[in-house]
Amino acid sequence: MTDAITIQNPRNRGGSTGHVLAKRSVTFTEIRNLFVSGCRSPDSPPRRPLLHSLPIEAFREAILTLGASPLEMPRGQDDLQSYERLLRNGLKLFETWYDTSSGCLDIPLTAFYGSEDPLATVNHMLNWREFTEREFELIEVAGNHFFIKSQRQRLLQVINTHLGLLGEHRI
């Protein structure tokens, strides 16, 4: 099926997972473009200290500093602990992911980063260009690590433009 479009959450683990899946794809004809956002390039080391290993209070403060809203945090103690476990495990995967294996993608790659994002700075994102033999575009978006919330329309417009969907159904 060569016209299939798969759009996965390109954030953090989604960006790394998308890269690995595209790299292992036998044929790139089904992939029009790889979009990553807020996800450092595979060869960039994570920033220190590793957030997933912080003590509880420092971890909560770090998540809020990144731009998470206190309103999004669960109120009940059990729910809050489950939420934190989920975040820590996701961050652990993101922070420990490192891929130096050979092989470039033969698809266009678009990388978004937040202008105020300490987890995926321009320097972390810039080296994505080394992971494709095709077009590479690095796009700065105003905001912190959670810029996909405040800049949703802009991101959708860029994605739709790159996929040639502006005249078709929107995603």
Peptide bond into 118 cis (omega under 30): no
84 shares a domain with 148: no
What is the reported pLDDT for 141?
A: 95
Q: Is residue 133 part of a domain?
A: yes
Residue 65 lies in a domain: yes
* 40 and 116 inside one domain: yes
Residue 47: how many CA atoms within 13 Å on its side-chain side? 16
Tell me, yes or no, whether 90 and 105 share the same domain.
no
pLDDT at 2 (0 to 100): 36
Domain count, the chain: 2
CA proximity to 28, closest of 104, 102, 106, 137: 106
Could you state, in chain order, the average pLDDT of each consecutive group of 10 residues for the chain (171 residues)? 42 59 61 87 84 92 81 80 88 81 83 91 92 94 90 92 66 48
Same domain, 118 and 82: no
If asked whether residues 33 and 73 sit together in one domain, one would say no
pLDDT at 166: 52
Residues 110 and 152 in one domain: yes
pLDDT value, residue 94: 80
- The region that residue 164 occupies, defined by phi over 0 for left and psi between -120 and 50 for alpha, beta otherwise, is left
Whether 5 is in a domain gets the answer no
Asked if residue 4 belongs to a domain, the reply is no
Rounded to 10°, the helix 77-96/56-66 angle is 70
- Which residues form the domain of 90? 51-96
Bridge partners, 11 (sequence order):
37
Chain position carrying tokens 């220190």: 48
Query: Residue 39 has what pLDDT?
Result: 87
In this structure, are 145 and 123 located in the same domain?
yes
CATH number of the domain that residue 131 is part of = 3.40.50.1820
Helix (H) or strand (E) holding 136: strand 136-141
pLDDT at 148: 87
Cβ distance 34 to 22 under 8 Å? yes
Alpha carbon dihedral 144, 14, 112, 46, in 10-degree steps, equals: 60
Q: What are phi and psi of 25, to 5 degrees?
A: -65, 135
The residues pairing with 105 across neighbouring beta strands, listed in sequence order, are 132
Tell me, yes or no, whether 169 lies in a domain.
no
